[in-house]
Amino acid sequence: MGDRATDISPSISELPHDELAAYASELGLSLDGKPARGELLRLIRARQEMLLGLDRSALLDVVVWARRPVRRSASKELLARHIATITKSRFDGLSDRGLHALAKLRGAAAGRNELRSVIEHRLKRQGGWLARARQKRRSIVGAILGRLLEDAPANEEYKFLPENQDGPSLKDSIRDGIEDAGVVGGIARKLRGVADQYVHEKLDEIERRIDRKLDEIDQRLAEWRDREISNRLRLIKITLISAIVVALVSLGYDYVKSRADVGADRPVPTGQATAREPSLPKP
């Protein structure tokens, strides 16, 4: 999530329907089915109003607790987008105000005087037993893989991303620049600042494109993996069916053979044998 790009809130009413739905999801809104455009806009406006009413420090607490990389100066909307991706359900280390903010963003009731444990319990119960089971499974797998892949558990103190402090701000006027560094120096500094910002914007754009491309590659790889697994499973099925056919033939052969052996071993009745013998003409 590029801070610069996401800090700028788009004019939502101009967005096409699918992008509007994606934007709503990014803000943490859970959409049932395919809501109409008007409904989507209403939900997004309501969420934006709710964000205005939330304390920014509380949102920062949540992001720090979940160890999401953000700048200290990140906007509420960007913080809300990060928070929307958090699925953690162990709330150790989260401040009370952060817990209240998280509950509101997840659509759970959280009164000011309510006990912390009650809100935590409500948040944990929110997704149903399936979500809880998934969370439990993830935490177990995470613990196992963490032990397998990481050398030591990371308990470092959270650090915010560095703020942009590269070169003079564009807000500095030419007058200030000339006062500080003379005519040529001041204008050069201003130009350098504009050029730096242009380069940064372009680099951000390139980064976003690369991210998008990497996502596409990842998606294609996932599709290829699923296809490959499906093919392997089909091969296993074919092999099993062939084995069953061979086993059936073999079983049939055993059955026929046992019947034939029984028929050969059975003593022939004498009456029948004499009856079949041709009778000789009596003299």
Partner 1 sequence: MRFDPFEFYRFVLAVAVGAYATFNVISAIWHWRGFVGGSARSAVMFRRYVILHLLRVRIHRFTPDLIAIVTLALVLGLLIARHWR
Report the sign of the C-alpha dihedral through residues 134, 140, 144, 150, in that order.
positive
254-273 positions binding partner 1, by CB under 8 A: 254, 257
> Helix 128-149 and helix 116-125: axis angle, to 10°?
100
List the x/- string, 125-154, binding to partner 1 by CB under 8 A.
----------------x---x---x-----
Of 198 and 255, the one with the shorter C-beta distance to partner 1 is 255
248 binds partner 1 (CB under 8 A): yes
Distance CA 10, CA 17 (A): 14
Of 145 and 188, the one with the shorter C-beta distance to partner 1 is 145
Of 199 and 243, the one with the shorter C-beta distance to partner 1 is 243
For 44, other C-beta atoms within 10 Å of its C-beta total: 19
Q: Which of 5, 19, 109, 253 binds partner 1 (CB under 8 A)?
A: 253
8-37 positions binding partner 1, by CB under 8 A: none
Q: Which of 206, 236, 259, 260 binds partner 1 (CB under 8 A)?
A: 236
Exposure letters 164-178 (e unless 16+ CB within 10 A, then b): eeeebeeeeeeeebb
The β-bridge partners of 71 are 161
Q: Which window, 32-40, 69-77, 191-199, 244-252, contacts partner 1 (CB under 8 A)?
A: 244-252
Exposure letters 8-40 (e unless 16+ CB within 10 A, then b): eeeeeeebeeeebbebbebbbbeeeeebeeeeb
214 binds partner 1 (CB under 8 A): no
Distance CA 191, CA 194 (A): 5
Of 145 and 199, the one with the shorter C-beta distance to partner 1 is 145
Least separation in angstroms between residue 134's CB and partner 1 is 12
Q: Which two tokens stand for residue 84?
A: 């929307």
Q: What residues line the site for partner 1 (CB under 8 A)?
A: 141, 145, 149, 221-222, 225-226, 229-230, 233-234, 236-237, 240-241, 243-244, 246-248, 250-251, 253-254, 257
